[in-house]
Structure 1
Amino acid sequence: MAPVAHGVESLLDRMVSFSSQGLQKVDIQEHFLIVKELGEGGFGKIFLAHNRNTGQRMALKVIDKNRSSQRSFLREFSISFLLSVHPSIIECCGSAFTTTDHFVFAQELAPLGDLLSMIIPNVGIPEHAVKRCAVQISSALEFMAAKGLVHMDVKPDNVLVFDQDCHSIKLTDFGLAKVKGTVIRGKCGTTSFMAQEMCIVEISDGLVADGSLDVWSFGVVIYCLLTGELPWEDAIPEDVKYKRFVEWQSNFQMHKFPETLTKVGSGIWWMLGDLWAIDCTKRCQPSEVFKYLSESWKAETIRQGDEDPIEKSYYVQSHEPLCEASHLNTSQDSDTTFRSTSGHLVIDTSVSEFDITPEPQKYNMAEALIVFD
């Protein structure tokens, strides 16, 4: 393991040890007014809460003790706290505690939910917003890499939004994060966003966690934001869209151009080609996107006419999002459902003045299979 990675592993161990000593069991209702549920995932839920002592609104990540060990919980809390100094990473409030059935820690509240809830199917979001998102996510990923960490589940669900035009977005959910150099013995993350080497990983061989895995996912996120759809379902030879993309990577002069790239601007074909380099050692850094900010990222056919239909439809509030909004990592086996034991949490529906987060909406696409290691 590289010196930087070894250093961050040691630091996390110390942070977990320190946090475990001060982890207190509290009555959540005594300290927080629970306003509403914001999201649900494989290991717990996110609630919009109002701190009774300070009056601060925040998001409480509530993790089922039956689905996570104390060490795993404290490790995620420590990673979140360590990274939260970056302006494009969600702020961890530094408060972790337990209840009878749950582990809990507090984060800043994102008023507009996540990026996924903003994506219009087969349309995406405006180009200027995509570029802002790309710049901020790029910065967050390079900061993580400098700390010796790999997110492992970069996707629109895990990017929180603070304003309609995406001037401020923040990467969140570090439940699957790994220290660089960690050997992964099974698939980890969300299938459609996984790098091709992760899609075919064998338990016997394993895969070394590296920032190039996040770079690939970052490219898929950009594509989703631009088009409102996925470039392919799985980065495997059996997937026709992915197979044709690989053929293009191998022969840029081929006559049969991959359908995937026809849906984005030709000025960023090479950018996506570098983000999705089949050989992970040749994959570019996230900051590669800066070289292409002057290019048109949307497909040229969309820009015909006097009015851009994407810009026009972006602010229509009745649109169906690509997927259900969530503050929480939904990385779980598709046959697994979260069985909540949070019946002790009483949601007070009379305090709607605190509720500024839109209700999650259902999506009209088949959800990608999600797996975890």
Structure 2
Amino acid sequence: MGGLGEVKVKRVARQLCSALEFLHEEGFVHFDVCLQNIFVFHHGMCLVKLGDFGNAHRVGALVKKRSVRLAWAPPEVYQALHCGGYLLQTSHDAWQLGILIFVCVTGSYPWFSPDVADHHYNSWVSWLEHRTPKVPPRFRCFTPCLLRLLQGLLEPHPEKRASVALVLEYMPQTWLVRGINPLDIDFDERSFFSEILVARPKS
């Protein structure tokens, strides 16, 4: 609760960025970047590894309906679950890396699911599309630097989404606003953000 702190989060993000870049260069998508699949070998996060490649596939592979972690799913995958399938792209890993950074910084998820019916997700999309000048409440402890990084990674349109390599560009900058503790941000009930897997029934 309250996140890992900026230094540790950057260590995690840098190492995962390196792992995902390697996978993408080899033509694979991990597609399950989440807390459960990050193995920690040092309490200071000096060494972490990306594991569990059970969902990994070649870039462009057609994936049929499957169980997904709602809080980690990119919007295009969430929407495709109702249709039957989707093509795996490296942009899916970029989205999940963005969610992971948010979770590590704050100790909570930004939204329950990437659905415009979700108030918190809708406020993020509204801000991205300049329909409101107000930064979403759950993002107000972030500096403009981290906001720009998350704008790139958590871009709803996959064709516009940044690659995981964008993370490295923002490593030298400050990510958290001084004087604002992530614990002070209104996250409703933090217990609400449990890991929820939803399996769509076979058609």
TM-score by length of 1: 0.49
Which residue of the partner structure matches residue 66 of structure 1?
A: none
Distance 2:32 2:56 in 1: 8
Select the residue among 215, 237, 244 that pairs with 2:94. Answer: 215
Asked if residue 273 in structure 1 is aligned to residue 151 in structure 2, the reply is yes
Asked if residue 292 in structure 1 is aligned to residue 170 in structure 2, the reply is yes
Asked if residue 369 in structure 1 is aligned to residue 201 in structure 2, the reply is no
Cα distance change, pair 286–149 in 1 and its aligned pair in 2 (3 A): same
Select the residue among 34, 37, 55 that pairs with 1:176. Answer: 55
Gaps of 5+ in 1: 1-120, 304-308, 311-363
CA RMSD of aligned residues (A): 2.1
- Percent identity among equivalent residues? 28
Does the CA-based 8 Å contact 2:3-2:103 persist in structure 1?
yes
Aligned residue runs from structure 1 range 343-354, under 5 A: none
Q: In structure 2, the residue corresponding to 1:219 is in which secondary structure?
A: helix
Letter of the aligned partner of 1:127 in structure 2?
Answer: E
Letter of the aligned partner of 1:365 in structure 2?
Answer: S
Letter of the aligned partner of 1:172 in structure 2?
Answer: G
Select the residue among 97, 111, 135 that pairs with 1:257. Answer: 135
Does the CA-based 8 Å contact 2:146-2:176 persist in structure 1?
no
Which residue of the partner structure matches residue 161 of structure 2?
A: 283
More strand by share: 1
Does the CA-based 8 Å contact 1:155-1:217 persist in structure 2?
yes
Deviation at 1:137, TM superposition (A): 0.3
Moved over 6 A (4+): none
Tell me which structure has the larger Cα radius of gyration: 1
Does the CA-based 8 Å contact 1:150-1:210 persist in structure 2?
yes
The superposition leaves residues 204-248 of structure 1 with CA deviations (integer Å, 9 ceiling, x where unpaired) of 452110110010000000001101110111011111000010011
Distance 2:78 2:38 in 1: 22
Q: In structure 2, the residue corresponding to 1:236 is in which secondary structure?
A: coil
Aligned residue runs from structure 1 range 119-130, under 5 A: 121=1, 123-130=2-9
Cα distance change, pair 202–224 in 1 and its aligned pair in 2 (3 A): closer
Aligned residue runs from structure 1 range 83-98, under 5 A: none
Distance 2:106 2:115 in 1: 21
Letter of the aligned partner of 2:196 in structure 1?
Answer: L
User: Greater relative contact order: 1 or 2 (C-alpha under 8 angstroms, separation 6 or more)?
Assistant: 2
Distance 1:204 1:269 in 2: 32
Q: In structure 1, the residue corresponding to 2:114 is in which secondary structure?
A: coil
Asked if residue 226 in structure 1 is aligned to residue 105 in structure 2, the reply is yes
Letter of the aligned partner of 1:230 in structure 2?
Answer: Y
TM-score by length of 2: 0.87
The superposition leaves residues 12-60 of structure 1 with CA deviations (integer Å, 9 ceiling, x where unpaired) of xxxxxxxxxxxxxxxxxxxxxxxxxxxxxxxxxxxxxxxxxxxxxxxxx
Which residue of the partner structure matches residue 187 of structure 2?
A: none
Deviation at 1:299, TM superposition (A): 3.3
Does the CA-based 8 Å contact 2:141-2:180 persist in structure 1?
no
Which residue of the partner structure matches residue 94 of structure 1?
A: none
Letter of the aligned partner of 2:191 in structure 1?
Answer: M
Distance 1:177 1:269 in 2: 29
